[in-house]
Each structure stands twice: as C-alpha cells, then as structure tokens.
Chains A and B, each alone.
Chain A
Amino acid sequence: MSYRGASEIFLGSAGISVGDSVKITKKDISYEGMLLDRAEDADETHLVLKLKNGYNVGINIENATIELVKKGEKPKIELSKLDIERDNQKHDISIISTGGTVASIIDYKTGAVHPAFTADDLIRANPELLEYANIKGKAVLNILSENMKPEYWVKSARSIADEINDGAYGVVVAHGTDTMHYTSAALSFMLDTPVPVVLTGAQRSSDRPSSDAFLNLLNSMTAAKSDMAEVMVCMHATEDDTYCDLHRGTKVRKMHTSRRDTFRSINTSPLARVQNGGIEILDEQLRYKTRTDGEVELQDAVESDVAFIKSYPGISGEIIDYHIDKGYKGIVLEGTGLGHCPEEIIPSVKRARDSGIPVVMASQCLYGKVNMNVYSTGRKLITAGVISAGDMLPETAYVKLCWALGQTDEIEEVEKTMQTNIAGEIEDKSSIKYFLI
C-alpha cells in the first residue's frame, strides 16, 4: 500500500486497506466506494476512492471519518487461461518479452503504465496471434527500456539463441521503444542468426483500445516467418493502422517522442513493408541475409565501460579526461557535422588514444557519413588517432564499440572491427533517396 504519513495512520486506525468498500463522511457530504491505492509520488493527505459510478475521486482526510462497509480483495487483473494446442500445420514462433509498453498494464502502486505482462499474458490478450503460428512465450526481463544495460543485451541474446536452438522458426522480441534501437544493434552484432529475429514494441500502451501494439505484434509474426534471417525492428510505418516497416537492426532509430511511426531507417531504406500477413520488399537492390538450416552463432562478449559523449559548443576536454582517469575502455564521440569537435579538446582525445582507449567519431547529424579529411580539425582528429564511424548511427557505433572491445583488447583489432561491416551497419554508397524517409 502506498499510503504514507497521515493517510496511512488514518486508514490503519480504522483497520482499512486497499480494496475494501468504505464510507467516508465529511461535514455535508459522504462518499461510498472502494479504496484504491494511491500513486507513490502523490501527497499524504488524500484517499482515492472508486465510486459505484466508476469514477475515482480524491478525498482529503481532514475532518473526515471512515467506516468499513465490506472487506474486499485488492483488485487484480486476471486474464482467462488459454489452453493452447499445438498445430502441426503452423510454424513455431517464440515471443521473448523484455518489458516496455508493448507488454504493460496499469499498476496500482504508481497509477502509471508499467510493464507487467509476461509473454504468456501477451498471447492471452491477443489470441489472434495464434492464427499465425504456434507460440511459445518467455519473459526474459521485465524492465522499462530506459533501464536497459549491456549485460541485459547479453541475457536477451542468449535467450534468443536458446529459442533458435530449440527449433524456433523465428523469434519476436517485445521491447520498450526508448532503447529498442540500441538492443537491435547489440543483437545484430551478437547473433549470427539463421532465422528472423524481430523486435517490436508500442508507442501507445497496450492497456488502451488504440494501442499500436496489436498491429506491430501481428506484423512481427509475419516477419518472423519470412526468409529474412536478420535482426530487425518491425513498427508502424505511418500514423495509420495499416502496415509496418521492417528495419535493419543496425540502421534504425527512434525519431519521435510519441508518434507511432517513430522508428525510421537512417542512411538506408527500410528492408520491407509488412501488411495483412504478407511481406513486400521495398528496394530490390537492398540485400539481406536469407533463412538457412544452420546453427545460430553467438558472440556475446561485451565491454560495458564505454562512454558516449556528445560534442557541443563549449565542451571541455575535462569530460574526456574524466573518462580516461575513471578507466573507461572506449569512447564514442558524437561530433558535429562531418565528424568534428572543438580543437581545444583534441589534446584530451589524443591522450585517450595514447592511453590505449579507442575514440570513435560518429556524427550528430545522423544522416550522412563522417569524413574527417575535409577540414583541418578533422585531419587533426585523424592524426590524434580517432576512428571514423562512417555512416553508422552514433548509437550503433556505441553498441558496436562495446561489442568490439568485448572481442579483443587490441586497439588495432578494435579499429579494424569498427571499420568492417559486420551486420549491415555500414553502407559504402550513399543513395540520393536515403534522406528523411
């Protein structure tokens, strides 16, 4: 129970707890209803009552008396159990749940939307998914995606590998949208998968009728059955509930705080469009890895002491020095324009490299390539040993550096890895059509 201070004492002295039917009487008015829990961050002076007409109201306990009408159970959300029979005509798809909005429900503690569904609950809430495949659900994590860490990428990658080794025809990963593109990049580097691995989520929580979760999940199922054996993100392509786009895990980014069509492919086209159980390749020139009968390969070693620093007018070299002194193993700089930072901080950058810490330069422009040959600052950065991220997204460059440092301690090896295309993260050619799509 989240009642604190005065309200906790008030309720305690009357022996009343959440879920009880009560009557609260004040000077000229009384209210009857069920006591609900109160948000943890709310004040201590009000009680929340659900009236018979369904409305919640807050009642100040000042000059109020309370009496118990009927003891009650704390309301729980229960979904009816589904007895799922395996259909041999259908493929086996695993849904891995990590938390986030695609799998969330109202929480009494805070009154906020919280990840609470297991993957099983997901199927119960969306029984239509069973028309697409035999579904196996597994909850790996139950966190909001802003709380993701590199070690959770490892945990997720291992679970996905287990599912594939157990015969999953494809894997869908339910994930919070905030850091989905970090995870999709991490899984892209860690997993060499023979089957599709599709990350999906929701921008409107699944507790509301307009949630985008259902269409995203349904289309992810289609993608998971396709012949595209890559780590991908499947989310609404427009504001309509019509189709989703399938993005390469290393070249996708959340670009809007709230819109359904927030995920966009950057410096490439989406791989495909998914609609009504079908997949349409959008650009025939764009290659992708196809499904095989092979084994999944897992390279999940990762270094989590990597700093991700944005350059800005007025940045001080101290920030870089701090990370060197703290023992960080790598630094990604999100530079300006073609890949620059103020000349003043170049000595610190050089100091990092001289201390055996690789410094990778990506661009905060997001679109286009890093090219440090054009201006003198860039050339000084090259001389200082900075590694170019090319057209990699800054977030992808960060994830890749974590991963590369997990594979080797040799700075030259790391530099080579960073500049070699591993999972579609680097494209040599910049197409005229890759901007703002």
Chain B
Amino acid sequence: MDYEKLGLKMGLEVHQQLNTKEKLFCPCDCNLTDKEPEFKILRNLRPTQSELGKIDRAAFEEARRKLNFIYDAYAHETCLVEADEEPPHPLNREALEVSLIIATLLNMHVVDEFHTMRKQVIDGSNTGGFQRTGLVATEGVLETKYGNVKIDVLCLEEDAARRIGQEKGKVNFRLDRLGIPLVEITTAPSITHPEQVKEVAYHIGQVLRSTKVKRGIGTIRQDLNISIKEGARVELKGVQDLDLMSTMVENEVKRQVNLLKIKDELNNRNASVEDELHDIAPLLKETKSKIIAKAESVFAIKLNGFKGLIGIEIQPGRRFGTELAGYAKKMGVSGLFHTDELPAYGITEDEVNAINEFLGLGDEDAFILIADEKEKVINALQEVQRRAKISLQAVPEETRKALPDGNSDYLRPLPTASRMYVETDIPAISVSKELLGDIKSDLPELPDEKKVRIIKQYNLSEDLAKQLVRRNRADSFEKIKAESGVDSTTIASTLAYTLKELKRDGCSIDELNNSILLEAFELLENGKISKDALPQILANVCSEGNSPQEAAESLNLMMLSEDDVEKIIAEIVSSNKKMVEERGMGAMGPLMGMSMKKLKGKADGKLVNKLLRDKLQNIE
C-alpha cells in the first residue's frame, strides 16, 4: 500500500508503570496479588457533567449498559482510597520526580504547576468513575532515522483496577492495580511509516528503562493512533508486540480504505437507514434457528441500498457486517444476522423471503435482525442504525481493541476532552526550578549509552554487557566490581546468567543483594571457594538463608589448603601404585580424573594438575 499517498499518520501512546514504593494517592504498595479477596464491594456508576457542562460521548455510552461492578478488596493490600471510601492522599512525590526525569530525558517542557484532573471512565475500571491524571510536560522531540518525532504530552496518572472476570450483568475488578503510578507518553500524529513507529517505541522504551519503572508483562502498554487522509482517527488499544505493528497498521488502513469505498457506493445508491424497528417474531414462529427460537423477541431494521455491501470483507476475515455487529454487541447481545449471509444458521429461504416481503425490501435493500431480550434488542438495533448512518458519512472515530491476529474490535467512541475536570481533593503542585535543576544535573544514562560504556570500561563482551543492561543489573555489576578484585567477566556472567538460572530453578534471588554477592566474590577472590562452586553456594544462600561462607561450609565446598590437597593426591597415587608403575606419566590422565572427582569445588584444577604432575615425576 502507498502509505504516503493515502496520507497515513500515526501517533503512539505508551503507558508505563513506575516502580515507586507507594501508589500515586495512597500508601499501599504497588504489587499485584493473587490472594483470595477478603472483601467484595458492589458498585454502580453514573456519568456526570464536566466543568464545561458537556457529557462525554464515551461515558454516555458506558452508562447505557447498566452494569454492576464487583471490586475485590483486601485488609492490607488495598485501603479505603482504592475503594473510593476515602479522599486521595497527597500526590506521591517520588512518582512525580520519576515522571520529571522521563520528561527531561525526552527533551520535554515541564509545566510550572501540576494540576490533578479527573478523566471520566465509567466502565468500572476506576471505583470513582474517573481516572486521576495530570499533565507533566509538553513538546518533546525524539530523533529517528525517518526524521524527528514530536512528543506531545507526558502525563502522570493512576493505573486502573484489574479486570478479573465477568458474568451476566456483573464485571469483577481487583483493586490491587488501581492507583499504581503510570506515565502516559503521547507522540504527535506525525509518524508516517510502520517501521518508524517501531523505532519510536524502541526509543521511548530505552528512556523508560533507564529510570525507576516496573519491568515485566503488563507493566507497559502501548496504544496506536492511526488515520488516513479521508478516514478518521482510530485508537488501537493494547498493541503489545512491536513486530505485529506493521500488520496492525496495514489492516487498519485496509479497513478505512474499504469503509470509504462502501461509503461511496452507498451514496451512489442513495442509500438510507430507516429509524423504525420491526417486530418480526410472528414471521419466525416455526423457525429451526435455535438462537431465534429461544429468544424473548426478534426485531429487524431496514437498510435501504445496503444489500451486497454488508458482506464485503474490509479486513482479513472481517466484514462490514462485523463492524455493525461490534456496535450491537456493546448493548449485550451476542451478534446479529444480515441479508448478505442469509439463508443460513437455520434460517430458511422462505423465512428470508417472508421478512423481505414484510419489510417491503427492494432489490438493493438489506435487513438486519437481532434476537434476544427485548430491551437489549432495541438498544442493539438502535446502535446498529447509528453506525449504519455514520457509514453514509464517514469513517467513525473509535477506540478499538488490538487483537492478536493484527485485526481490531470496536470498543467505544473516542473520548472527547470534555471528560476531564479538576480533581478538587488534590491541591496544585508547583514544580520548582530548583527541583528541575537537580533532576537535570543527575540524569540517568540511557541503556544503549550504558552498554557501550561498560564494554569499554570493563572490557566486557558485547553479549554480557547487553544482558546486564537488559536485566537491570549493570548498576549492581559496577558496585560489586568497584569493591572486588574478581575479574569483570566472572562477576558479569554471575549477574547476567547464574542469577537467571537460579531464578529459573525456583530460587528466590531477591535475597541476593549486592552485599551478599560481594561476600561470595570475596570468598572466591581469597581462594576459599572455586568458581565452579559459586552457583551451588548462591542457591544455598537463597534457600537456607545462610551467609555465603556458611553455605560453602555446609555444602562442604570450602577449598582445601595446598597441604590437604597434596595429601589427598598422595593417597590417590599410592592406592593406584600399580597403574603408576605400569604407565608412568601416562597415568596422569586417569589420576587427574579421579582427583578432580574427589576434589571438585574444593581445589583449583590447575593446582591439582601441578601437584599430581610433581608427584608422578618424583616417583620416577
């Protein structure tokens, strides 16, 4: 596809959890829990008016689906703030400072005074019905191979509650994630090529990883804004896989191009959407369709001039009908049937003809029917009518959920700015010049810079340096190296690989802080343990809570003195006297094997080799 001609424009939105000690507005810690909930709280939400008196369209749509929200709460893991039973505490300064560091690294302009806002979100993911968020900085710049990309805004906000499950009319959330500090970085819609999106995402990731942010699955989320010249801005939520990005872009552009073609054809045909809902249950009394037979009611709507277009594929495996169904499903129905796919699904040709006749459909006209509870059917068909009317005009602005196959599902209309109003419980915070000055003078090194430096400074291999940086262990490495005489490669590979293997084997490597590791390296440096024994010793430290020395002793891995090693070798030589007499120096190999078996981890191989050789030569 010729993206330039189509006028493709993209913007990236990155959400990253910060690794602060406390949440943004309460003293709870920022960890998730899998414990059984100790309390369950049931709530409803209603949209309210914002400062400017407008009701946000996304909030309004959520409100039409009357849902109960169940929140999992805990005695100690969560508190009254997340439960919306206590006003927020003052904003977490640590989080603000981390966000200021990130803003500075992205060459952004920090605001003079930070105001906390409420962004209305009434899908239940926030107990208050709004997400607290504030603008930290604007107008940053990122250099890429394809040209500079503007960073529009950086916001500091609270993460939403974690969705646990759903049953009829109820959505279950857990409060553990609610309130974890998050930075949201939004680029200007100035990215023009899918490869450039990847590069921007990579760069932002580099900046984030150089600061105090959380690592691992679910701690970073990316949304992609896409539009083409004649199309509309669409936000794809949850684009995780950088490699899938170009497919996502391609599929979305395809979708918009095809929707525009459909629009043109509809206008050629003078198509229209009738407002009436028709009860067609009487026509389907004898139907073989199970879905229809068991439904409380069946209604249909007329789409004049739509025939043949509803079945058109607009994305791989997804039709225009899928778009219409997406809107219907938001009202709680499981789907719809349309002219272009019938007769099928147990609905016979006779029944289709009867419906056509009843509705008075012409050759180019289509119908859509939905079977379910009456209230849902009516809401759903009204949504389909609304969407069908939009299709005569334009591509709608939407928030869509990214799917693993590179397609997307309709979520809700794009939120408007009117869903923001001021959080009255938090005073504005002035960002002082002194604080910004302190931050600027002490900026962290970006991961790539750090890698290049440690390779040079410590003579490390590219791979080791990369692993240290990626695993966030470069700082530990430098601290330990500063105090230990052990060679760089041994320290680095212990931090990069041994710890990873221990973790994989189920050790809780959190026990292994810098000072414990340093103790272990000291043993190595002083010849008290061997390099080979290090993993076993560290594993024991994790599991038994021993010090490295105690671990080495209890595992019998302390190095023997030269005298003791010599004695053991002498014993081995004398008990194999016959072989020594027969083979002379030729016995070196087998005897070395036997010695190492006995002395493994307790004596250095070179020493054993030397002592054994001396012994054999002396016998001759």
Q: Which residue of A lies closest to B56 (CB)?
A: A54
The answer for the CA separation of A397 and B112 in the assembled complex, in Å, is 52
The answer for the CA separation of A39 and B113 in the assembled complex, in Å, is 13
The answer for the CA separation of A79 and B430 in the assembled complex, in Å, is 34
Over the window 25-60 of chain B, the binary record of Cβ atoms lying under 8 Å from chain A Cβ atoms (1 yes, 0 no) is 000000000000001011111111101110000010
A114 smallest CB distance to B (angstroms): 9
Cross-chain contact B45 with A58 (CB below 8 angstroms): no
Cross-chain contact A55 with B428 (CB below 8 angstroms): no
**A51 contacts partner chain B, Cβ-Cβ < 8 Å:** yes
The answer for the CA separation of A240 and B428 in the assembled complex, in Å, is 31
Chain A residues closer than 8 Å to B122, beta-carbon distance = 209
Cross-chain contact B113 with A60 (CB below 8 angstroms): yes
Over the window 463-507 of chain B, the binary record of Cβ atoms lying under 8 Å from chain A Cβ atoms (1 yes, 0 no) is 000000000000000000000000000000000000000000000
Cross-chain contact B428 with A239 (CB below 8 angstroms): no
**B194 contacts partner chain A, Cβ-Cβ < 8 Å:** no
Kindly name the residue among A48, A105, A239 whose own CB sees the greatest number of chain B CB atoms within 10 A: A239
With A57-B135, A259-B85 as given contacts, are A210 and B115 in contact (CB-CB < 8 Å)?
Answer: no
**B307 contacts partner chain A, Cβ-Cβ < 8 Å:** no
Kindly name the residue among A208, A241, A258 whose own CB sees the greatest number of chain B CB atoms within 10 A: A208
**B342 contacts partner chain A, Cβ-Cβ < 8 Å:** no
Interface of chain B residues 135 through 174 with chain A (CB within 8 A): 135, 138-139, 153, 155
Q: Which of B80, B86, B112 contacts A60 (CB 8 A)?
A: B112
- B-contacting 9-mer, from A70-78, A149-157, A314-322, A374-382: A70-78
**A136 contacts partner chain B, Cβ-Cβ < 8 Å:** no
The answer for the CA separation of A343 and B113 in the assembled complex, in Å, is 56
- A-contacting 9-mer, from B125-133, B378-386, B550-558: B125-133
With A59-B112, A59-B113 as given contacts, are A210 and B129 in contact (CB-CB < 8 Å)?
Answer: yes
Chain A residues closer than 8 Å to B155, beta-carbon distance = 55
Cross-chain contact A241 with B42 (CB below 8 angstroms): yes
Cross-chain contact A106 with B127 (CB below 8 angstroms): no
Chain A residues closer than 8 Å to B118, beta-carbon distance = 208
Cross-chain contact A258 with B421 (CB below 8 angstroms): no
**A43 contacts partner chain B, Cβ-Cβ < 8 Å:** yes
Number of interface residues of B (CB under 8 A): 53
Interface of chain A residues 33 through 89 with chain B (CB within 8 A): 39, 42-43, 46, 48, 50-60, 75-79
Over the window 101-127 of chain B, the binary record of Cβ atoms lying under 8 Å from chain A Cβ atoms (1 yes, 0 no) is 000000001011111011110100001
**B461 contacts partner chain A, Cβ-Cβ < 8 Å:** no
The answer for the CA separation of A111 and B127 in the assembled complex, in Å, is 22
With A111-B424, A258-B86 as given contacts, are A210 and B45 in contact (CB-CB < 8 Å)?
Answer: yes
Chain A residues closer than 8 Å to B452, beta-carbon distance = none
The answer for the CA separation of A260 and B87 in the assembled complex, in Å, is 12
The answer for the CA separation of A75 and B53 in the assembled complex, in Å, is 8
Chain A residues closer than 8 Å to B416, beta-carbon distance = 54
Cross-chain contact A48 with B115 (CB below 8 angstroms): yes
Cross-chain contact B109 with A29 (CB below 8 angstroms): yes
Chain A residues closer than 8 Å to B120, beta-carbon distance = 209
Chain B residues closer than 8 Å to A106, beta-carbon distance = 51, 421-422, 424
**A113 contacts partner chain B, Cβ-Cβ < 8 Å:** yes
Cross-chain contact B52 with A29 (CB below 8 angstroms): no
Over the window 86-101 of chain B, the binary record of Cβ atoms lying under 8 Å from chain A Cβ atoms (1 yes, 0 no) is 1100000000000000
With A55-B135, A58-B113 as given contacts, are A259 and B80 in contact (CB-CB < 8 Å)?
Answer: yes
With A29-B138, A106-B424, A260-B85 as given contacts, are A58 and B53 in contact (CB-CB < 8 Å)?
Answer: no
**A159 contacts partner chain B, Cβ-Cβ < 8 Å:** no
Cross-chain contact A58 with B86 (CB below 8 angstroms): no
Chain A residues closer than 8 Å to B128, beta-carbon distance = 204, 208-210
Cross-chain contact A242 with B422 (CB below 8 angstroms): no
Interface of chain A residues 198 through 213 with chain B (CB within 8 A): 203-204, 206-211
Q: Which of B41, B51, B135 contacts A239 (CB 8 A)?
A: B41
**B272 contacts partner chain A, Cβ-Cβ < 8 Å:** no
Cross-chain contact B84 with A204 (CB below 8 angstroms): yes
**A112 contacts partner chain B, Cβ-Cβ < 8 Å:** yes
Chain A residues closer than 8 Å to B179, beta-carbon distance = none
Cross-chain contact B45 with A209 (CB below 8 angstroms): yes
Interface of chain A residues 243 through 299 with chain B (CB within 8 A): 257-260
**B83 contacts partner chain A, Cβ-Cβ < 8 Å:** yes
**B601 contacts partner chain A, Cβ-Cβ < 8 Å:** no
**A28 contacts partner chain B, Cβ-Cβ < 8 Å:** yes
A201 smallest CB distance to B (angstroms): 15
Number of interface residues of A (CB under 8 A): 48
B421 smallest CB distance to A (angstroms): 6
Chain A residues closer than 8 Å to B113, beta-carbon distance = 46, 48, 57-60
Cross-chain contact B135 with A75 (CB below 8 angstroms): no
Interface of chain A residues 106 through 120 with chain B (CB within 8 A): 106, 111-113
With A112-B424, A211-B46 as given contacts, are A54 and B127 in contact (CB-CB < 8 Å)?
Answer: no
**A214 contacts partner chain B, Cβ-Cβ < 8 Å:** yes
Chain A residues closer than 8 Å to B51, beta-carbon distance = 50, 75, 77, 106
Cross-chain contact A46 with B430 (CB below 8 angstroms): yes
**B257 contacts partner chain A, Cβ-Cβ < 8 Å:** no
Chain A residues closer than 8 Å to B418, beta-carbon distance = 54
**B263 contacts partner chain A, Cβ-Cβ < 8 Å:** no
**B189 contacts partner chain A, Cβ-Cβ < 8 Å:** no
Chain B residues closer than 8 Å to A260, beta-carbon distance = 85
Chain A residues closer than 8 Å to B111, beta-carbon distance = 57-59
Cross-chain contact A55 with B420 (CB below 8 angstroms): yes
Cross-chain contact A28 with B109 (CB below 8 angstroms): yes
**B413 contacts partner chain A, Cβ-Cβ < 8 Å:** no
Over the window 93-136 of chain A, the binary record of Cβ atoms lying under 8 Å from chain B Cβ atoms (1 yes, 0 no) is 00000000000011000011100000000000100000000000
Over the window 14-38 of chain A, the binary record of Cβ atoms lying under 8 Å from chain B Cβ atoms (1 yes, 0 no) is 0000000000000011010000000
The answer for the CA separation of A400 and B296 in the assembled complex, in Å, is 59
The answer for the CA separation of A241 and B66 in the assembled complex, in Å, is 13
Cross-chain contact B430 with A43 (CB below 8 angstroms): yes
Kindly name the residue among B52, B85, B139 whose own CB sees the greatest number of chain A CB atoms within 10 A: B85
Chain B residues closer than 8 Å to A257, beta-carbon distance = 86
Cross-chain contact B42 with A42 (CB below 8 angstroms): no
Q: Which residue of A lies closest to B108 (CB)?
A: A29
Chain B residues closer than 8 Å to A60, beta-carbon distance = 112-113, 430
B390 smallest CB distance to A (angstroms): 24
Chain A residues closer than 8 Å to B39, beta-carbon distance = 239
Chain B residues closer than 8 Å to A112, beta-carbon distance = 424
**B548 contacts partner chain A, Cβ-Cβ < 8 Å:** no
Q: Which of B52, B129, B139, B417 contacts A208 (CB 8 A)?
A: B129
With A48-B115, A259-B80 as given contacts, are A208 and B420 in contact (CB-CB < 8 Å)?
Answer: no
Cross-chain contact B109 with A58 (CB below 8 angstroms): no
Interface of chain B residues 401 through 440 with chain A (CB within 8 A): 416-422, 424, 427-428, 430
Chain B residues closer than 8 Å to A208, beta-carbon distance = 48, 118, 128-130
**B134 contacts partner chain A, Cβ-Cβ < 8 Å:** yes
Cross-chain contact B134 with A55 (CB below 8 angstroms): yes
B188 smallest CB distance to A (angstroms): 12
Q: Which residue of B lies closest to A28 (CB)?
A: B109
Chain A residues closer than 8 Å to B59, beta-carbon distance = 209
Cross-chain contact A210 with B43 (CB below 8 angstroms): yes
The answer for the CA separation of A59 and B42 in the assembled complex, in Å, is 41
Cross-chain contact B47 with A209 (CB below 8 angstroms): yes
Cross-chain contact A79 with B49 (CB below 8 angstroms): yes
Q: Which of A39, A51, A111, A240 contacts B42 (CB 8 A)?
A: A240
Q: Interface residues, chain B, CB within 8 Å of chain A?
A: 39, 41-49, 51-53, 59, 80, 83-87, 109, 111-115, 117-120, 122, 127-130, 133-135, 138-139, 153, 155, 416-422, 424, 427-428, 430
Q: Can you identify 21 A-B contacts, CB atoms within 8 angstroms?
A: A28-B109, A46-B112, A46-B113, A46-B430, A54-B119, A55-B153, A56-B117, A57-B114, A58-B112, A58-B115, A77-B51, A111-B424, A125-B49, A208-B118, A208-B129, A209-B120, A239-B83, A239-B85, A241-B42, A258-B86, A259-B80
7 A-B pairs with least C-beta separation: A209-B129, A58-B113, A54-B420, A54-B417, A55-B135, A60-B112, A240-B42
- 8 additional A-B pairs beyond A209-B45, A240-B41, beta carbons within 8 Å, are A28-B109, A29-B138, A48-B115, A58-B428, A76-B53, A77-B53, A106-B51, A239-B85
